[in-house]
Amino acid sequence: MSDAPRLITVDDLLRLHTLDDPRFSPDGRWIAYVQATPNPLERGTTSSIFLVSPQGGPPIQLTRGGKDSQPRWSPDGQWLAFTSARGGAPQIYLIPISQPGEARAITNHLHGANSPAWSPDGQQIAYLASGNAADWEAEDSGAPLPPPVDKLEAQYRKDRLAEDKKAYFDPQVVDKIPFRMGTSLLDDRTAQLYVVDAHAEQAKPRRLTSWPVPHGEPFWSADGRALYTVRSYRPQADEFWRDGNIFHINVESGEATRLADDVHTIYDLRPSPDGRWLAYSRRLKDAVDRLVELTLLPLGEDGLPNDAAFVLNRELDRNVIAYAWTRNGHLEAIAQSAGKHALMSFDTNGRAPRLRLEVDGLEGLDVGPQGQIVFSQTTVGGFNELALLDTQTGQVRQLTQTQTLLRELKLAEAQRFTWENDAGQIIEGWYFLPPEAPQAQPLPTIINIHGGPHILWTPADRSMWHEFQAQAAQGYLVFFCNPRGSLGYGEAFSRAVHRHWGDYAMHDVMGGIDALVARGLADPQRLYLTGGSYGGYLTAWMVAHSQRFRAAVAHRGVYNLISFHGTTDIPSFVRAEFGVEPWEDPDLLWQHSPLAHAHRIKTPLLIQHAEGDYRVPIEQGEQLFAWVRRTGGTVKLLRFPRDGHEMTRAGEPAHRIDSLRATLAWFAQFGGPGQAEEAAPSSASA
């Protein structure tokens, strides 16, 4: 067998692991994290909890339930609480750390439990569990449901619950929006706060809330007398997350006190360890293109506000996507900064933040007792691992070496370049040359367009890492950029596409293509276009306004803004982006819909859409297919059952493989390198 490195394949997706949710133990000796791997046999992923020492060494697999997540340390570091769906509905489990032992479930809710949070004294665990009025009445009047005696009974309960749910939706009563999310129809059960004795055998949980809206993750006050959570304060309103606000819940009485204003949508809550501050993210309601403000609310000894809230990142003008408190009361945060992620340190006095590190691909983080910062990081050449920043020396050290696949591979490297758009702004883009690029250039080129429109791609974007590398391995020059509307370049840049989704971003992308052609890198006769969600929108928009592309693939795109408003689970998104409801200015929304121009599409177009997509319902893809087909274009529609909007990023592994393979085959059919074949499910399908 040759030891020479090989090119990555589409099927190599199944050998890539993702590492998330790192959590330092209280003494700093261990970091718990979740490792997930695609599992095509179960049409999902297998996830387990591992421990790794900050000093290095091989990780230790702590759990083997296959569906384990959310590791949370007890204050004394002797126990780890976590969520596991190993027995059907997810429940909260405990596992000892100091001595070997089996994990045991401490909850047994019919509809599951999640988001464990230890009380400061380590005696109680708060968590979320869903129910409705009938469930709560049964809880309050009877004994808790006993655990199943064996796997057969557990399976029976699971099947019985599934049948009951089907009956519940036959017919479904709809009186609010949304009535479906993710890939599921919504019933009247909502996530409520519970507390349970962490160490008593068969302790009965105590429900603190019965409010008919979902509650967010619970966080204890420093004195253990209250919980903080985010929930809507308007139970009858549509889109409950729009009215997300902070609530202080008294653990003894259940009394709830609302803490913040009603101008902002609030999420991502974190109280400081000393109880003096409440940090949270907020954004003006219906203003998805505005800055996400990292906000501090001063608290008094009673855990309630004693002064006005203030924003930490307004002058920085960059969104914060993750943060954690240190032991000495400041915040370490990941901010989006141009085509990179910046690790920033914020003081509670409001002074300008300090830049610690600026690299690609940073995600969740935690801070250890000695100030070290652990984070999940994706790199172009290393995919996803855990890394540790020593804040004293500024040195970064990789903690895990999980991606053994990469030892076999020859990978493409990313090159950054910039150009000026028609508004005089500098646009940032990247290209990957094929690892085995032929001497003769220019090269066939795949142009990738990100979604959002308000997200940020970096060369080490985890959601696209495998796709970029697999495209390059086929012999393509792979190009992407952050056009107007992208995050990471300031609020004004993000808002630049307000009421103008198509033209402005299209000009920015075309400018990057022109630059690659001028450099002799991209073959102007073999340009291939693809994107998902808003990227699908822009793909359809561009092929309707340009004959420059040999072929295109549009994934899960918005093509008709008017019908999208009536079928999506986020109808206020249209008003936020265009400033109108459909009945107020239908002409504006129609003219900015790719469907209005679809009769001009003559570029061969493959449309991919998941049937369970409730964010951008499949009717969008069906309409585009019908219009292009009926007006003489070359078009196919590839429908994927069961999956939703996140299919290409977190859907069934076989679907993800089939989707990428179909994309590459479509491009090959129209002159690109690789093997041309029918755009249909491959042998990888489970």
Query: What local confidence, expressed as pLDDT, does residue 42 receive?
Result: 87
pLDDT at residue 1 in the model: 42
Q: Are the beta carbons of 331 and 324 closer than 8 angstroms? A: yes
CA 509 centroid distance within chain: 24
Residue 521 — φ and ψ, nearest 5°? -90, -45
CA angle 238, 244, 249 (to 5 degrees): 125
Long-range contacts from 659-664, C-beta under 8 angstroms, 24+ separation: 659/555, 659/608, 660/10, 660/13, 660/466, 660/467, 660/470, 661/10, 662/553, 662/606, 662/608, 662/638, 663/530, 663/553, 663/606, 663/608, 664/10, 664/470, 664/471, 664/474
pTM tops 0.85, yes or no: yes
CA 203-205-210 angle, to 5 degrees, is: 170
The whole-angstrom separation of Cα 674 and Cα 164 is 48
Report how far residue 195's alpha carbon sits from residue 126's, in angstroms, rounded to the nearest whole number: 4
Classify domain 417-669 at the CATH class level.
alpha beta
Domain boundaries, the chain: 63-207, 417-669
Q: What is the pLDDT of residue 679?
A: 43
Residue with tokens 């390059």, as numbered in its chain: 472
Q: Are 300 and 307 in contact (CB under 8 A)?
A: no
CB–CB of 644/610 below 8 Å? Answer: yes
Question: Looking at this protein, which amino acid is placed at residue 433?
Answer: L
Task: Judge contact between 279 and 295, C-beta under 8 A.
Answer: yes
Q: What is the mean pLDDT, run by run of 10 residues, along the chain of 686 residues? A: 82 97 97 96 93 95 95 97 94 90 91 97 97 90 72 80 82 90 91 95 91 96 97 92 96 96 94 97 93 96 95 95 95 94 93 91 94 96 95 93 95 97 96 86 96 95 96 97 97 96 97 98 97 98 98 98 97 96 98 98 98 97 98 98 95 97 98 72 41
Across the beta sheet with 226-232, the strand order is 219-220, 226-232, 244-250, 256-258
**How many CB atoms are located within 10 Å of the residue 373 CB?**
25
d(CA 223, CA 323): 22
* Per-chain mean pLDDT for the chain: 93
Q: What is the pLDDT of residue 685?
A: 38
Taking a C-beta distance cutoff of 8 angstroms, is the pair 454, 470 a contact?
Answer: no
Tell me the HSE value of 353 on the side-chain side, using a 13 A CA sphere.
Answer: 25
CA 207 to chain centre: 29
Angle at 489 between CA 484 and CA 492, to 5 degrees: 65
Q: Are 388 and 373 in contact (CB under 8 A)?
A: yes
Report which secondary-structure segment, H or E, holds 503.
helix 503-518
- 3-class SS string, 328-362: CCCEEEEEEECCEEEEEEECCCCCCCEEEEEECCE
Q: Which residues of 530-541 are buried (b: 16+ CB within 10 A; e: fewer)?
A: bbbbbbbbbbbb
pLDDT of residue 684: 41
533, 464 contact by CB (below 8 A): no
| pLDDT tens figures, 128-162 | 999 999 899 888 887 666 777 787 887 887 788 78
Strand ranges in 119-224 using DSSP code E only, listed in sequence order: 124-131, 180-181, 184-185, 190-197, 206-207, 219-220
